[in-house]
């Protein structure tokens, strides 16, 4: 299948893959699934193919992951995913009533989308905010202690084009925009990261610990979260400070001298123990001072982890991803699947390698033979704890 993903998505795919060790590129699958969801609103068959192509997996492997996690949607979603917790704590506090009210009000059930494409409703298991129950989230941002009336108010405002402010966390974005963040890219909206601080129940344990003098010394829970621009600026200042603190390189007055036997003068790489490294010769082509590093933190991290990534193949298992500006071309589905199968050879019965048919029977036979050889005779059920 020919994929239709944009150059921007392909570029981001390369960034994601470069975050992982070269021989562990398949670990990039989870963020890549968020990435394709960011473009299409769900993990479509084309999205599965795209992930398989760029990681050298087969589509069955990608599909197995995409169908396991509830955050990957298998059909088109609305702009806003409204998740209502109906798990134990929220349920006893009224979560089921909230969910049932929204079902009736919106005219959709679990995992269904309103006709105007605005809201997808789902009931969710514990959303990890039991101390604020009953809770619901909109695109994973929290609305705490909701009741049927406030929940209806939120969805009505969303359908009317408004953006109600969550109780905690950043201001709302669309589900596709959130999927970009879930793929590991920063929320670039000015000040959004610092929009909403933690709630009092979240901080209660911290305050208790401080009262009893068991908190981390000097930690201020009111420390504001920096925006990306502020963090980048602080990193640049720290780097400039570190560069300024470095000793100036020593200039040599002559070119490196060869030894009498024609051997090269020692270099930092082959200097003997205790020998000082030679000073750089004037006129050397090697730069004494590194050019300013104005790369983005993501590119820098990728290069640190994979210093030779620029020469490698982007999308085969165990290979490296180039960090140049060339967008990766997906391999055709057949060659990608072939590479995936070669790296993950299935047994004849379709099970993963190592789980081949007959293995259990053979193991039991070998175990029995070993037991008999010891002269202990076959173990009975009472010895093994097995149930007959």
Three-class secondary structure of residue 172 per DSSP = coil
Nearest distance in Å: CB 203, ligand FES: 17
CB-wise, 46 or 89, nearer to ligand FES? 89
Q: Which two tokens stand for residue 300?
A: 């820098």
The residue (of 71 and 130) whose beta carbon lies closer to ligand FES is 130
SS3 208: helix
* Cα-trace Rg, the chain: 29
Q: How far is the CB of 204 from ligand FES (least distance, A)?
A: 16
Q: Which is nearer to ligand FES, 31 or 166 (CB)?
A: 166
CA nearest neighbour of 19 among 294, 227, 309: 309
Q: How far is the CB of 130 from ligand FES (least distance, A)?
A: 3
- Give yes or no for a contact between 85 and 126, defined as CB atoms under 8 angstroms apart: yes
Q: Helix or strand or coil: residue 121?
A: strand
Structure-block tokens of residue 197: 């601080």
Q: Please provide the distance, in angstroms rounded to a whole number, between the alpha carbons at the two ends of the chain.
A: 51
Nearer to ligand FES, 110 or 258 (CB): 110
| Smaller CB separation from ligand FES, 101 or 306 | 101
Compare residues 90 and 321 and give the one whose CB is closer to ligand FES.
90
User: How is residue 312 annotated by DSSP?
Assistant: S
Asked whether the beta carbons of 14 and 327 are under 8 A apart, the reply is yes
Comparison of 33 and 127: residue with beta carbon closer to ligand FES: 127
CB of residue 91 to ligand FES, shortest distance in Å? 7
Whichever of 61 and 87 has its CB closer to ligand FES, that residue is: 87
Least CB distance from residue 138 to ligand FES, whole Å? Answer: 15
Q: Where does this chain bind ligand FES (CB under 6 A)?
A: 85, 87-90, 126-130, 133, 135
Nearer to ligand FES, 90 or 138 (CB): 90
Give least dist CB 100 to ligand FES, A.
16
CA atoms within 13 A on the CB side of 87: 15
Q: How far apart are CA 97 and CA 101, in angstroms?
A: 6
**Per DSSP, what are the bridge partners of residue 119?**
80
Minimum CB separation from ligand FES for residue 82, in Å?
A: 14
Q: By C-beta, is 89 or 341 nearer to ligand FES?
A: 89
H helices present in the chain, as ranges = 7-18, 29-40, 45-55, 59-66, 88-92, 95-106, 148-159, 175-182, 200-211, 228-245, 297-305, 333-343, 359-373, 381-384
Query: In whole angstroms, how close is the CB of 136 to ligand FES at the nearest point?
Result: 9
Cβ of residue 106: shortest distance to ligand FES, in angstroms?
20
Instruction: In angstroms, give the least distance from the CB of 137 to ligand FES.
Output: 9
Which is it for strands 112-113 and 119-124: parallel, antiparallel or unpaired? antiparallel
Query: DSSP string spanning 48-96?
Result: HHHHHHHHT--HHHHHHHHTTSTTS-SS---SEEEEEE-SHHHHHTTHH
Nearest CA to 329 among 17, 7, 57? 7
174, 123 contact by CB (below 8 A): no
């Amino acid at each position: 299948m020919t994929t239709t993903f944009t150059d921007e998505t392909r570029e981001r795919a390369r960034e994601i893959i470069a975050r992982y060790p070269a021989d562990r590129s398949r670990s990039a699958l989870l963020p890549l699934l968020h990435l394709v969801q960011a473009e299409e609103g769900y993990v479509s068959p084309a999205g599965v193919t795209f992930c398989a192509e760029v990681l050298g997996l087969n589509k069955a492997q990608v599909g197995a992951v995409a169908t396991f996690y509830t955050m990957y949607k298998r059909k088109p979603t609305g702009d806003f995913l409204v998740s209502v917790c109906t798990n134990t704590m929220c349920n006893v506090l009224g979560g089921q009533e909230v969910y049932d009210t929204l079902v009736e009000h919106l005219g959709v059930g679990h995992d269904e989308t309103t006709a105007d494409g605005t809201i997808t409703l789902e009931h969710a298991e514990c959303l990890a905010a039991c101390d604020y129950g009953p809770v619901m989230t909109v695109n994973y941002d929290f609305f705490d202690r909701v009741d049927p009336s406030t929940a209806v108010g939120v969805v009505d405002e969303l359908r009317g084009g408004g953006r109600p402010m969550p109780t905690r966390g950043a201001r709302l974005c669309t589900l596709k925009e959130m999927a970009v963040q879930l793929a590991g890219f920063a929320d670039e909206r000015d000040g959004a990261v610092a929009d909403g601080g933690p709630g009092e129940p979240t901080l209660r344990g911290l305050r208790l610990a401080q009262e009893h003098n068991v908190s981390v010394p000097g930690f201020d829970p009111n420390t504001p979260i920096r925006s990306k621009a502020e963090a980048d600026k602080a990193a640049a200042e720290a780097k400039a400070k570190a560069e300024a603190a470095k000793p100036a390189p020593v200039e040599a007055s002559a070119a490196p001298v060869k030894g009498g036997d024609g051997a090269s003068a020692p270099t930092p790489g082959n200097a003997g123990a205790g020998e000082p490294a030679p000073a750089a010769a004037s006129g050397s082509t090697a730069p004494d001072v590194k050019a300013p590093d104005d790369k983005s933190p993501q590119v820098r991290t990728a290069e640190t982890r994979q210093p030779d990534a620029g020469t490698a193949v982007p999308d085969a298992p165990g290979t490296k991803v180039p960090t140049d500006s060339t967008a990766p071309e997906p391999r055709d589905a057949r060659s990608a699947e072939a590479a995936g199968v070669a790296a993950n050879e299935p047994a004849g019965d379709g099970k993963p390698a190592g789980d081949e048919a007959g293995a259990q029977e053979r193991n039991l036979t070998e175990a029995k033979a070993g037991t008999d050889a010891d002269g202990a005779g076959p173990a009975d059920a009472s010895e093994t704890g097995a149930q007959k």
